[in-house]
Amino acid sequence: MVKPATASAATNLYGMERPQLRALLGTYDAPPFHSGQLYRWLYARQRLDARDWTDLPKSLRQRLRGDVVADPGRIGSRIEARDGTVKYRVELAGGGTVEAVYMVQRERVTLCLSSQVGCALACDFCLTGRMGLTRHLGAGEIVGQAALIRDDRGLCDRPFNVVFMGMGEPLHNYDGVLGAVRLLTDEDGFGLSRRRLTLSTVGLVPRIERLSREPRRPRLAVSLNATTDELRSRLMPVNRRHPIPELLRTLREYARRTGDGFTFEYVLLHGVNDGDDDVRRLAGLARGLPVRINLIPFNPVPGHLDYVPPSRARTLEIRDRLVGLGLRCSIRWSRGADARAACGQLALLSGETAAAPARR
């Protein structure tokens, strides 16, 4: 892995929380209360140059300047789609590249962040799944994407929504993602309400259980995508380990323990999971759960022609039928598809990186 020049020798502070900052300052014999000040500079005020940390003693600033960096990564490139969605390629502080997406809808800004370089889950319809997993991102590399885009878009103190729906399986990188959740929701960090954060998972059961015990949880979305174990195992290999009944049991318990509802994401694949029987079974699975269903018409994946989305009319019909059955249901129309920024389209392709995604 190639390290950027700036981070070659120096310790990278970006992503550290108070205990780590306190430990680091301890090595300079600096009093612990400086860690809170440093924390605010890094995440609330986004001042990453030690010379700007004016409430720290000057001598400490000078020594820090020599020894540490605060490196959130950098923007490699941006591609703007016609609907205003922007796909960013972000070069990570620890080496490697991921993609992150900026979306605006009626003044509401949502950032879609990546949690891993690649992904190990290998869902059949997802482009990222074809890359395999290279590595987990650290908390600083995850919030770094938000910090870089916030700067680039001039968002300043405007609150935004975050969805952990970029490259990777967020619950596979549990520590990195929960670290990012804490930085994003801390009052002296990014200061976002936890309700602005949504984590989407393939359904890693033990990690969902663990999440239910976290004091600061994001909202939960689960990629269901099929209503029988036979089909779901074909589309999502993780289902062989954690089949639908086990997943549902876990989600019921999650809702009971936390009082939170959750979302089922359901990628619509024409002729595969969009039949009347599928819709009936989906309603059956969702009934009685505090769940909202989010239908996602399949976004075509370059070089992979096995799947197509249903027609617009059929998509609306499925939604109406589910609503008619008393379920809460919405459609996630693709955004940024012409910049290849839509769901399932994030991957590093064609000269975008040294390593092309593996074709199966």
Least distance CB 60 / ligand SAH (angstroms)? 41
Q: Are strands 219-223 and 197-201 parallel, antiparallel or unpaired?
A: parallel
- Give me the catalytic one of 99, 141, 169, 265: 99
Site for ligand SAH, rule CB under 6 A = 125-126, 165, 169, 200-202, 223, 225, 265, 267, 296, 298-299, 301, 343-344
288/241 Cα distance (integer angstroms) = 25
Half-sphere exposure of 307 (CA within 13 A, CB side): 20
Angle 22-148-23 from CA coordinates, rounded to 5°:
10
The residue with its CB nearest to ligand SAH is: 344
Q: Which residue has the tokens 């960096």?
A: 69
* Pair of tokens at residue 284: 């059956």
Of 24 and 112, CB closest to ligand SAH: 112
Q: What's the closest the beta carbon of residue 276 comes to ligand SAH, in angstroms? A: 21
Nearest to 86 by CA among 138, 155, 2: 155
Position of tokens 């900026």?
102
Please state, in angstroms and rounded to a whole number, the distance separating the CA atoms of residues 309 and 327: 22
CB of 236 to ligand SAH, least distance (A): 8
Find the shortest distance in angstroms from Cβ 151 to ligand SAH: 25
Q: Which is nearer to ligand SAH, 165 or 282 (CB)?
A: 165
Please say if 99 is a catalytic residue.
Answer: yes
In the complex, minimum distance from the CB of residue 119 to ligand SAH, in angstroms, rounded to a whole number: 6
DSSP secondary structure, 281-347, as one string:
HHHHHHTTSSEEEEEEEPPPBTTB-S--PPPHHHHHHHHHHHHHTT-EEEE----SGGGT-STT---
Surface-to-core class of residue 2, CB atoms within 10 Å of its CB (0-12 exposed, 13-18 middle, 19+ buried): exposed
Residue pair 336/299 in contact by the 8 Å Cβ criterion: no
User: Minimum CB separation from ligand SAH for residue 271, in Å?
Assistant: 15
Residue ranges of the alpha helices (H) in the chain? 18-26, 34-43, 58-67, 139-152, 174-185, 205-211, 229-235, 238-241, 244-258, 276-286, 312-324
Tell me the sheet residues that pair with 265. Answer: 223, 294
Helix (H, G, I), strand (E, B) or coil at 57: coil
Instruction: Choose, from 112, 119, 123, 343, the residue flagged as catalytic.
Output: 343
- Give whichever of 39 and 264 is closer to ligand SAH, judged by the CB atom: 264
* Least distance CB 280 / ligand SAH (angstroms): 21
Q: Which is nearer to ligand SAH, 134 or 200 (CB)?
A: 200
Active site residue 17: no
Which of 22/196 has CB closer to ligand SAH?
A: 196
Query: Rounded CA gap, 257 and 1, in Å?
Result: 41
- Residues forming the active site: 99, 343
